[in-house]
Structure 1
Amino acid sequence: MKQHNETKEEKDTESTTEKPKLSLMSGIALLVGSIIGSGIFISPRGVLLGTGSYGLSILVWIVCGLICVPGCLCYAELGTMIHSSGGDYTYIKMAFGDWAGFLRVWSEICCVRPAIIAVCGITASIYLLQPIYSPCSPPHLAVLLLACFFILMLTLLNLCSTRGSVIWQNGTFYAKIFSLLLLISLGAFQLVRGHYDVFTSPFENTQTSVKKLSIALYIGLFPYSGWNYLSNAIEELKQPERNFPIAIMTSIIASTVLYALAYSAYFTALTPFNIMTADAVAVSFAENVYRPLGFIMPLFVSISALGGLNGQIFSIVRMFSVAGRDGLLPTISAYIHYENLTPVIPCIVEGILGVLYVLVGDADRLLGYLSFSTWLVCLCGAISVLVFRRTMPDVARPFNAGIAAPVIFIIAMTALTFVNVIFNPVDILVGVLILLSGLPIYWIFVLRRPKLVDKFSRSVVLYLQKALLIVPDNDKQHD
């Protein structure tokens, strides 16, 4: 009987263990799909406002991509050294302790991901509504309501079916690539027609303000966020020691090239003033080249943004769930729906927060908060490379980033943050306060949790289990 039970448990364990299924090309596709979202369609305005000219703004786009390269090298070392899922949450938790891991999850849940979700929803709404109200801008209330609808619908999709959300994500990847290739092709067509005036004097009207340039760099970095997402699925990647470094470097280089070409294409049909004043840059560009495209381009851009929105929800709820299993968040965060096997509580929380961010913020301000929080995490990830070299010197490192990569990335991120603290203190202060607000929460509810809280929590968990049909993950696995 004992032998029979052991055999059954072994089979259960084997059946619930996901084997690696991502090839090198699949990993590259995942990263490129994560990086390319709404940024290239919404950030050109902010970057150009901070630089004043095509010449300096295109340099900002390229420099932002190059800044990410040493960061990619750092994560390549971390990913090939530590094969546990969780990404930079795992690295920060291992390098600095549970409190740092909690702050990482806290800021991600409360600020970073809801902000990205809101920005993606707003971008999709603007581009879908722009042709309907052209030549006027769509009503602000209509944009907000449609963005909230998108967020709620994709939250519901993630609640009901993991397979459905994955299918949607794969489908929108092609819309992302098609949108950029269409922009680039139209730009090449314009050049053949002789529309290249801006390229003859690219630095005309350049602004040299350090304040505006630093803000432009931060806004320009936003479209590249997502290059580290493959580390969240490192356990599912085939031959991670070989494929992870190749995938992460290929994706950042490909995205930089695509962004530079697509951004340059805008200037073949629009003036810098048009780009700085347009709410939907890609739509205005398409209409100027060939008016019927003004109805086609918004559809693909909206689908692209909605793919980014779905990807953000899909990934954050799983980090949320892992933190629940680690005990840094309520254990009910790790409970899954009995039939759908989806993380219910994280989906509900992130969906609600995303809607709130849409209703109380605007895209430019959300980008300001988002850049600080996102790149602070990447900075800590680079620092953890140096920490692990001192605390874990004997652990095998199939890929070594060297000393230059982490040092360069740390200096670059620290310098940008320092300049923004001086010239843009309000947004940085808000970001810091949101981050530090997790410390008393961690002290009260993780380190010194009162027994009364445990008693109340058990009753709430029991009620939610019945109401939402959720069970502990391991219970469902061994049914």
Structure 2
Amino acid sequence: METGSISKASENGPTDNDGPLEKKRPEKATMLQQDIGLLSGISLIVGTMIGSGIFISPKSVLLYSGAVGPCVLIWAACGVLATMGALCYAELGTMITKSGAEYSYLMEAFGSIVAYLYSWTTVMVLKPSSFAIITLSFAEYASAPFYPDCSPPLVVIKCLSAAAIIIITGVNCLSVKLASYVQNFFTGAKLIIIIIIVVAGIVLMAQGKTKNMSNAFEGSATSFGAIGLAFYNGLWAYDGWNQLNFITEELKNPYRNLPLAIVIGIPLVTVCYVFVNIAYFTVMTPSELLSSSAVAVTFGDRVLYPVAWLVPLFVAFSTFGSANGSCFTAGRLSYVAGREGHMVKILSYISLKRYTPLPALLFNGILAIFYIMPADINTLINYFSFAQWAFYGLTTLALIVMRFTRKDLDRPVKVPIVIAGIVTLVSCYLVLAPIIDKPEWEYLYCTIFIFSGLILYFPLVYKKANWARKIMRPITMHLQLLMEVVPSEKTE
């Protein structure tokens, strides 16, 4: 949005526009480095998708599906749908090898305004509020052992959540490799507890604990709306299947590793989710599962005693890893939007020493801390979830549109167009289902917020108002000096 920031020093020394940051060019180009391999890519997908949902509240799917049988089938079907969506993203990500996921694809297919509205909504609300919710969940489980007879005080949860945001943001600012190692570790930790739950469930089934799964389809929901809401809640637990597309520029060999990480990571999560739910039903009746506030903890208390404390510990690990993945990708969206001029330019700058999008990561972390202050932000993110699915649908529609408008683009991965059509239609349904089932004013307020971004778009992005440049130029220069960041050498 603004120009006139401090540029990188030339090889002959500083020019009139140069700042005192560097007098010698670094050995590596000042841009995001390709440090993410296949294992780290799989860990990012698995680690971001598996957060607290599968451990705490799978009861929403059971509530709307009405019985054990359709509940398990819906979990499997959600995995299939997530895989289909991710395959569409694999084609888009290998066709348009820019970070930013939906932002870059919407820009290519529909132009600047649609991409801007996506970045405005996601950067300002969806990403930081999601980051905040995940860290609040982490804080609740991490503090629970210290308050065995009561719920932890709200101030303790919020302070611990803020501390987690600061630590995770700091790790991501320091090094891409360090953030990848953290992601790999916590992904491994959450897979350990899932394996424990699944193995325990298989042992219990072998012992004949299958009573709760007899007559599995008795009482199934027949309402089209109820089944849709069951899918909606199941897909919420799968959210994160698109995370790898946010960091395409940092992937080693993206043409190979992007689709390969998708076809390994998402089916792995699907298998885990299905078997974990089956394990829950070996020890809990549907009514007991519905009354449990934290299903995995209830399972641990009944099956893993006297080491039941492992469950809340690993749930804390799981949520911390998911928060790290969320922070990692959110910073890249702000970075790409800033590079395109849809956010303030400072967000597109790279740390001169660390080669990380430092300003974008800090911006996301600061917003997340603001979002943990209100009493309840779950309501906010729930109402904005319909916007997320609207953008998913627009993105798969972009794939269909570009099959006709951009035939010249190379497509190393090409999925059947019918898959993109199915994901687009399902996305439309998931946008409309909660509004039709229970229309509320909040959906209108969220829509107004999304389109309110146009108030800033036309003067600052489209018209490039001079007064905005004059205001932002000194701010950008001071922030650049403070954080030691420079414009990326990759501008396309």
Show the counterpart of 2:421: 407
8 Å contact from structure 2 (residues 43, 183) kept in 1: no
Report deviation, 1:308: 0.9
Alignment match, 1:8: none
Q: Tell me which of 332, 337, 343 is aligned to 1:318.
A: 332
Structure with greater proportional helix content: 1
The AA in structure 2 aligned to 1:78 is L
Structure 1 stretch displaced more, 212-221 or 159-168:
159-168
Whether 2:474 is the aligned partner of 1:459: answer yes
- Consecutive unaligned residues of structure 1, counting only runs of 5 or more, are 6-10
Contact in 1 for aligned 2:52/2:318 (Cα 8 Å): yes
Of 358, 371, 376, 2:385 maps to 371
Cα distance 1:245–1:461, how it changes in 2: closer, same or farther (>3 A)?
A: closer
Superposed CA deviations along residues 56-108 of structure 1, whole A, max 9, x for unmatched, are: 22222112112223312211221222222322211111111111221111111
Taking the aligned partners of 1:293 and 1:127, their CA distance within structure 2 comes to: 16
Give % identity: 34
What SS does structure 2 have at the residue aligned with 1:359?
coil
2:166, 2:26 → 1: CA distance?
35
Contact 1:107 1:435 in 2 (8 A): yes
Deviations along 1:24-64, one digit per CA (max 9) or x if unpaired, are 45533332223222231234132233233322222221121
| Structure 2 spans left out of the alignment, 5+ residues | 1-10, 13-24
Give 1:151 shift: 1.8
Work out whether residues 283 and 298 of structure 1, in 8 Å CA contact, stay in contact via their aligned partners in 2.
yes
CA contact (8 A) 2:371 2:377 kept: no
Select which of 107, 120, 127 maps to 2:121: 107
Query: Residues 52 and 139 from structure 1, CA distance in 2 versus in 1: closer, same or farther, beyond 3 angstroms?
Result: farther
Pair 336,461 (structure 1): closer, same or farther in 2 beyond 3 Å: same
Alpha-carbon distance between aligned partners in 2 of 1:17 and 1:347, rounded to the nearest angstrom: 15
1: CA distance, partners of 2:183 / 2:437: 38
How far apart are residue 368 of structure 1 and its match?
Answer: 2.0
Instruction: Look up the match of 1:149.
Output: 163
Cross-structure match for 1:435: 450
> Which secondary structure state, in structure 2, belongs to the residue aligned with residue 185 of structure 1?
helix
Residues matched between the structures, number: 469
Alignment partner of 1:167 is 2:215: no
> The residue matched to 2:283 in structure 1 has which SS?
coil
Corresponding residue to 2:193 among 161, 174, 179: 179
- Write the mapping of 1:264-413 to structure 2, written as runs, cut at 5 A: 264-360=278-374, 362=376, 364-366=378-380, 368-413=382-427
Secondary structure of the equivalent of 1:294?
coil
Q: Does structure 1 retain, via aligned residues, the 8 Å contact 2:187–2:318?
A: yes
Partners of 1:119 and 1:54 lie apart in 2 by: 28
Q: How does 1:199-278 map to 2 (within 5 A)?
A: 199-278=213-292
Which stretch of the first structure deviates more once superposed, 322-331 or 266-275?
Answer: 266-275
Counterpart selection for 1:446 from 439, 461, 477? 461
Match of 1:121 in 2: 135
Shift of 1:459: 2.2
Query: Please, what TM-score do these two structures have when normalized by structure 2?
Result: 0.86
Q: CA deviation at 1:181?
A: 0.9
Shift of 1:237: 3.9
CA distance in 1: counterparts of 2:64 and 2:288, whole angstroms: 15
Aligned in 2, Cα 1:44/1:106: closer, same or farther, shift over 3 Å?
same
Alignment-derived partner of residue 21 in structure 2: none
Distance 2:222 2:378 in 1: 21
Name the aligned partner's letter for residue 459 of structure 2.
I
Q: Pairwise CA RMSD of aligned residues?
A: 2.9
Question: Is the 2:169–2:362 Cα contact (8 Å) retained in structure 1?
Answer: yes
1:409 Cα offset (Å): 1.0
Q: Residues 243, 472 of structure 1: CA spacing in aligned structure 2 closer, same or farther, 3 A cutoff?
A: closer
Equivalent AA in structure 2 for residue 60 of structure 1 = I
CA distance in 2, matches of 1:369, 1:111: 11
For 1:18-167, what aligned pairs fall within 5 Å after superposition? 22-134=36-148, 136-167=150-181
| Whole-angstrom CA distance in 2 between matches of 1:101 and 1:293 | 49
Report the CA distance between 1:109 and its aligned residue: 1.1
Q: Kindly indicate whether the alpha-carbon contact (under 8 Å) linking 2:44 and 2:183 is maintained by their aligned counterparts in 1.
A: no
